[in-house]
Structure formats: C-alpha cells, structure tokens
C-alpha cells in the first residue's frame, strides 16, 4: 500500500491519555520520515483542515472517528483510528498496537477497508453523509411519531413508533443492534431500516438493496422531526421529507493486514459459544 507522508491528527482531549498518545504518534511520524503533520485537539475541524493530507489519524473513540468521516470522505483520504474510547468497533488499533506499528503503517504496512456511506437530505437542504446511521424521530423524546416510508416511490408502510434507524452494514452494530436489528457484514450490499418500539409487533427490520431510494414523510400533526447523522449532527424538520440513499462516496478505513472482522465481533460483543473450553 502507498506510504503516508502528510498526516493530520484529530484528538479527543476528553479521552484519558489521548493527548499524550497523540504527541507520541506525532514524534513517531517525524522519525518515520513523514514530511508534514498537523494536530487538532477537539472534534470540530477547521475548514479545509484535511486539504493536502494523505491520511487522518484519529485518537479517541468511535464517536471521534465518526466526527471526521464527512471531511475525510470529501477529501478522499483514509482514516487511521486509534482507540482511546470504550468499545472501539471502528478504531482498528489499540494504543499499544499504534505505538508498536505506527512506523510500519506509515510506510505502507496496512490494508484498506472501503465502507459505504448513507446520503441524507432533509427537504431542500444540503446533503450529509453517515457512516453508521441516520435516526429519524420526534423532536420531543417522549412523543411517538407516525412516519410513512417509501422505497423507490412505493409505500412500504406507516410506522407509529419512537423513531426509525436507517443504517449501513458498518453501523449495524451500533444503535441498530441496540434496537433489536441484525448484525450485517460490512461488505454486504444493503441498507437496514429498524423501527424503534413500533406499536405493531409484526414491524421488524427490513433490509433494502443498496440501490434503493428511501423517503420518509412525517404524518404526525404539530410535530417536528429530529434527524441525527451518526449521533453527531442534528437537523429539525417541519413539513419536509427526509431522503436517504447510498452515497456515491465511500470512506477508507485503515486496518492491520491481519484484521479479522469476526475476531472483532467475538471480542467486542463477548461472544464465546464455549470457545474457552476448547483445546
């Protein structure tokens, strides 16, 4: 794989040890021959921060990584995720692995996992990108909403529920899983739709093909919708539809060469199945 010679860092200073680890990695990058590094402490990126970079290294949790997805996708550069959070589904490297392997990574010792993104447009507003999910719900947490969902112009059904989660395969292990949705392999060509606490027991997750065009209409009187992108950016909708489809852009995640998706699932989700007893 091509080496990284111009590197940006995004650090979540609220994560214990993240700032110190980032300083270590900046020093390692300098010794590895990286020509240019820059460091941003905090989730909000200055405009054009990633311009001219070969990659961005995120030191924090999955939320920190999700915060740079939009900018990295538009800059068409990969993300190196170093976990200083709790779960770490998206951040592929632990602090110890990053310290030990950083020079190798910067020299081309990695693989790229291409992940699909959702394109979300609210009414006539601008498009936004989600790596995990788009949540559509009432502005008021305690209020149910009635939502109509259309797939390629055809009515799917109307939901009376707390909200609906639309997720990528990557995001299937996030809010979707907590709401009872399925785990989907990241390479699967699908978009999942999971209603949250629907008032019909037969309403379950629906998997759509990746070319589907979805539209969500608010049928609740006097209620504004909240549309949340990856839990990072929120919009309020009054009388406008929400359009969701697979984005034309994808995001590149840097992973170790020996990365195993199912090994991560076993570790993060505490799967066992008696493996500990096998010899």
Query: What's the rounded Cα separation, in Å, for the pair 178 and 81?
Result: 23
Supply the residues annotated as catalytic: 62
- The residue extents of the domains of the chain are 6-110+256-277, 117-248
Rounded to two decimals, what is the model's pTM? 0.93
**Token pair of 42 as six digits:** 């905090």
DSSP 3-state of 79: strand
| CB distance 256 to 113 below 8 Å | no
What percent of the chain has pLDDT above 70? 97
> Which residues, 6+ apart, have CB-to-CB distance to 264 below 8 Å?
89
- Do domains 6-110+256-277 and 117-248 share one topology? The answer is no
pLDDT in tens, 215-236: 999 998 888 999 999 999 999 8
> Domain 6-110+256-277 belongs to what topology?
Rossmann fold (3.40.50)
Q: Share the mean pLDDT of the chain.
A: 93
Average pLDDT over residues 227-255: 94
pLDDT given for residue 119 in this prediction: 98
CATH no. for 117-248: 2.60.200.30
pLDDT in tens, 1-56: 999 999 999 999 999 999 999 999 999 999 999 999 999 988 789 999 999 999 99
**Token pair of 115 as six digits:** 């992940």
> Which residues, 6+ apart, have CB-to-CB distance to 177 below 8 Å?
183
């Amino acid at each position: 794989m091509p080496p990284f010679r111009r590197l940006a860092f995004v650090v979540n200073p609220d994560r214990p040890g993240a700032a110190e680890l980032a300083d270590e990695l900046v020093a390692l990058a300098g010794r590895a021959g990286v020509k240019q590094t820059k460091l941003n402490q905090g989730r909000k990126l200055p405009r054009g921060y990633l311009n001219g970079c070969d990659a961005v290294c995120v030191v924090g949790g999955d939320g920190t990584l999700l915060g740079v997805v939009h900018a990295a996708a538009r800059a068409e550069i990969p993300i190196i995720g170093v976990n200083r959070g709790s779960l770490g589904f998206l951040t592929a490297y632990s602090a110890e692995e990053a310290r030990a392997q950083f020079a190798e990574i910067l020299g081309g010792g990695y693989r790229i996992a291409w992940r699909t993104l959702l394109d979300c447009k609210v009414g006539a507003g601008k498009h936004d990108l989600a790596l995990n999910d788009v949540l559509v719900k009432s502005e008021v947490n305690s209020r149910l909403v009635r939502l109509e969902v259309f797939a390629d112009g055809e009515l799917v059904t109307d939901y009376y529920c707390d909200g609906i989660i639309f997720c990528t395969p990557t995001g299937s292990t996030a809010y979707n899983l907590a709401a009872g949705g399925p785990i989907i392999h990241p390479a699967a060509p699908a978009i999942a739709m999971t209603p949250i606490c629907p008032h019909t027991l037969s309403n379950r997750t629906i998997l759509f093909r990746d070319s589907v065009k979805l539209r969500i209409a608010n049928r609740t009187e006097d209620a504004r919708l909240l549309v949340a992108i990856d839990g990072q950016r929120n919009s309020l909708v009054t009388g406008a539809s929400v359009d969701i489809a697979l984005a034309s852009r994808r995001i590149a995640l840097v992973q170790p060469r020996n990365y195993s998706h199912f090994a991560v699932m076993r570790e993060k989700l505490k799967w066992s199945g008696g493996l500990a007893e096998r010899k």
